[in-house]
Amino acid sequence: MAYLVTFHWGWLLASLLLGFAMGWIAVVHRGPGVSKRTSLWLAVLVAALVAAALARVIPGRPGYWLDLGLIMFACYLAGCAVGSWLRDWVLSRHAPAA
Amino acid sequence: MHGLFRWRSKWWPGLIPLAIFWAIAAWTNTSTVESDLAARSTAALKDTVLDKTRIAVAGRDVTLAADAFSEDGRSGAAASVQAVPGVRRVNDETRLVPEAKPFVWSAERDVVRVTLGGSAPLPASKVKLLEAARASLGGVEVADQMNLSRGAPPRFDDAALLLLDQIGKLKDGKITISDGKVSLSGMARELGGREAIAAALKNLPEGFSAAANEIKAPPYIFQAYKDPVAVTLTLTGYVPDNNVHTALAAAAGRKFFSEKVVDNLKASVGAPSGFANAVMPALGALSRLSTGTLVVSDREVKLSGDALYDAAAVQMRAGLGKDFPPSWQFKADISVKPQAAPVDATVCQQLFSDLLAKGKIRFESGRATIDPDSLGLLDRLVETSLRCPAASIEIAGHTDADGEDGFNQMLSEKRAQAVADYLVKAGLPASQFTATGYGSTQPVASNDTDEGKAQNRRIDFLVR
């Protein structure tokens, strides 16, 4: 894990920033969201992939790609959470004035 | 915080650029990661003793194939690679090198090269043995046909290095270690090499023993060549020690009364037993030849050349073998020199005087037994007599003035008769010779000095 982070820190930072931007936008976005059912299925899928990565059942290059993808996804999620939370905090500070 | 659950349903559009990022990252970094991990894995195995190591990396999974020399080394190698940061899985394809039973190592020397074969225990010892072989052999080509195997006896390297030192002393041959047994065969390069190798084998490390040492020594050669044109006797080859050398040189000086002795002998160990006892009579026989070569090779004596007359050739062919120590072999290739043309009495007398001026017929002290050292001279006198068939020859014996006159008179007669007998035995007619003794009545020098006395003790040939 530490090796992946140090070796790919640029890509992980890019994922984090991408997530931050997406989270920032998501608060005021008016488009359709993902339904609860779909997000449940997505969560199950991600959990299965994480389990596969931890169990190291996928060999060779695909195994490495899976690890890399999951770490980038984790950074993306973290970026989204921070972005949304920060946007919400900024909006709520301005709301009473409006 | 509660908002997170609401907002997260809107996070999905970013997944599309994320997937693109992921694809690019995987595309550009995979081979970099693989080569980085391969280099780190190789570095991690630097101190582990392995042979034929192959490292293949797919993603972060390392496939390690290698020959290990012990079970510990094998698991240690896999563990070292597993410990490399970033390695995810290790596919351990290592195996133990085969065990050799018996563990055989050999070094074989032929004319052009030394071949190291059989098994070596570790790559390091293989390199060490090759370097030692190159160092001890100078410019000789060293061929490596060694395999790596387990099962070497302890202290194998020390034993093999000691034996590699010995291969320089061989002209050709083979040295083999089979478990703890050392066997050697072949031919030593120089005299004494066999003994040096046998001595070195005593220093073999514990657990090793010399099972068979069949190193042969090169033939021990002594040669003598009598050259009638240059009037020289050339001695070459080996003698056992300086005492024998001195004795041989002195005997050669006495037996070869007219030739100059060229002494190129060297002292060396390894002489067959009875060397001096065999070479002395052989040199005596050579002195009786007109021209000839004596070759003593180990226990074989070869004499070839021309005798001065028929009876001498017959005597030497038949009689000489009896003079040698037992187990020695004698081969004679003796022909007879054609007889020279007859000469008249004056020339005859001149020839006798010339011969007796160069050498003297010697006898045992106080007796009438001819010294074997004088046979060469006597044969020359026989040869000359054969050229004077018409001459009547008086053989005159003289003594010095020591002792009683009566005894001296008798001794001089007996000595003259002994010489006459020798000539008759050689095939000359007895009627041609008269043996006369003069005692000390006709001195040619003063009897007051030892040199004078020696000159007075003589045999003269007088043509009547």
User: For the domain that residue B63 is a member of, what is the CATH number?
Assistant: 3.30.1340
Q: How close does chain B come to A48, measured CA to CA in Å?
A: 18
* Residues B418-450 pLDDT 10s: 999 999 998 889 899 999 999 888 888 888 888
pLDDT of residue A77: 92
Question: How many whole angstroms separate alpha carbon B108 and alpha carbon B140?
Answer: 12
- Cβ contact A22–B13 (<8 Å): yes
Nearest alpha-carbon partner for B349 in B461, B239, B250, B257: B461
At residue B115, the pLDDT reads: 93
With an 8 Å Cβ cutoff, is A56 touching chain B?
Answer: yes
What's the rounded mean pLDDT across residues B354-372? Answer: 88
Whether B19 maps to a domain, the answer reads no
| pLDDT on residue B3 | 63
Q: Confirm if B58 and B35 have CB atoms less than 8 A apart.
A: no
pLDDT at B141 over 50: yes
Q: Report the alpha-carbon distance of residue B71 to residue B107 in Å, rounded.
A: 29
In this complex, do B11 and A77 lie within 8 Å of one another by their Cβ atoms?
A: yes
In this structure, are B374 and B425 located in the same domain? yes
Cα A20 from Cα B422, distance rounded (Å): 135
Residues B56 and B126 in one domain: no
Per residue in B227-269, pLDDT tens?
A: 988 889 999 998 888 899 999 899 998 889 888 999 998 888 8
Say if the Cβ atoms of B3 and A34 lie within 8 Å: no
pLDDT at position A67 is 92
Residue with tokens 């020594």: B217
Same domain, B307 and B211: no
* Confidence band for B281, pLDDT divided at 50, 70 and 90: confident
> Does residue B91 fall inside a structural domain?
yes
For residue A98, pLDDT beyond 50: no
Domain of B159 in residue numbering reads as: 104-216
Shared-domain flag, residues B198 and B267: no
Tell me, yes or no, whether B200 lies in a domain.
Answer: yes
Radius of gyration over every alpha carbon of chain A, rounded to an integer in angstroms = 17
Per-residue pLDDT, B268: 84
pLDDT given at position A96? 60
β B329-336/B104-109 pair status: unpaired
| Same-domain status, B263 and B173 | no
Say yes or no: A96 contacts chain B, CB-CB below 8 A: no
Question: What pLDDT score was predicted for residue B36?
Answer: 92
Where b means 16+ CB within 10 Å and e means fewer, B182-205 reads: bebbbbbbebbbbeebeeebeebe
Task: For residue B1, tell me if it sits in a domain.
Answer: no
Q: Is the pLDDT of residue B104 over 90?
A: yes
Instruction: Label residue A16 by pLDDT band (50, 70, 90).
Output: very high
Q: Is the pLDDT of residue B71 over 90?
A: no
Shortest Cα–Cα distance, A94 to chain B (Å) = 17
Mean pLDDT for the stretch of residues B11-16:
87
Domain presence at residue B29:
no
Nearest residue of chain A to residue B1 (CA atoms) = A85
Residue B255 lies in a domain: yes
For chain B, what is the domain count?
4
Looking at the structure, tell me whether residues B130 and B85 fall in a common domain: no
pLDDT for the residue numbered B1: 52
Q: For residues B254 and B331, state if they share a domain.
A: yes
Q: Does residue A68 sit at the B interface (CB-CB below 8 Å)? A: yes
Length of chain A: 98
Torsion of Cα atoms, B351 then B352 then B357 then B359, to 10°: 110
Q: What is the ipTM of this complex?
A: 0.90
Mean pLDDT on B32-51? 89
What single-letter amino acid sits at B229? Answer: V
The pLDDT-based confidence of A82 (bands split at 50, 70, 90) is very high
pLDDT in tens, B73-103: 888 899 999 999 989 889 989 888 888 889 9
B182 with B118, same domain: the answer is yes
Considering the domain architecture, whether residues B407 and B453 belong to the same structural domain is answered as yes
- Give the CATH number for residue B236: 3.40.1520.20
Q: Residue B86: helix, strand or coil by DSSP? A: coil
Listed residue (B372, B455, B368) closest to B420, CA to CA: B368
For tokens 């990396």, name the residue: B57
B127 lies in the same domain as B200: yes
Structure confidence at residue A51 (pLDDT): 95
Say if residue B296 is in the same domain as residue B402: no
Angle formed by the axes of helices B123-137 and B156-167, nearest 10°: 20
Average pLDDT rounded to a whole number, residues B285-299: 90
Name residues whose C-beta falls within 8 Å of residue B144's C-beta, 6 or more positions apart in sequence: B116, B126, B130
pLDDT of residue A70: 94
* Domain locations along chain A: 2-6+13-93
Residues of B in contact with A72 (CB under 8 A): 18, 21-22, 25
Q: Which of B190, B216, B242 is the last residue of a domain?
A: B216
Among candidate residues A61, A43, A39, the one with its CA nearest the CA of residue A51: A43
Judged against a pLDDT cut of 90, whether residue B152 lies above it is answered with no
Same domain, B49 and B91: yes
* Tens of pLDDT, residues B199-225: 888 989 988 988 888 888 888 899 999
**Would an 8 Å CB–CB cutoff place A50 in contact with chain B?**
no
Mean pLDDT of chain B: 88
Question: Six-digit token pair at B249?
Answer: 């040189």
In the beta sheet, which residues pair with residue B114?
A: B109, B142
CATH number at B380 reads 3.30.1330.60
Judge whether B8 lies within some domain.
no
Asked whether residue B135 is assigned to any structural domain, the reply reads yes
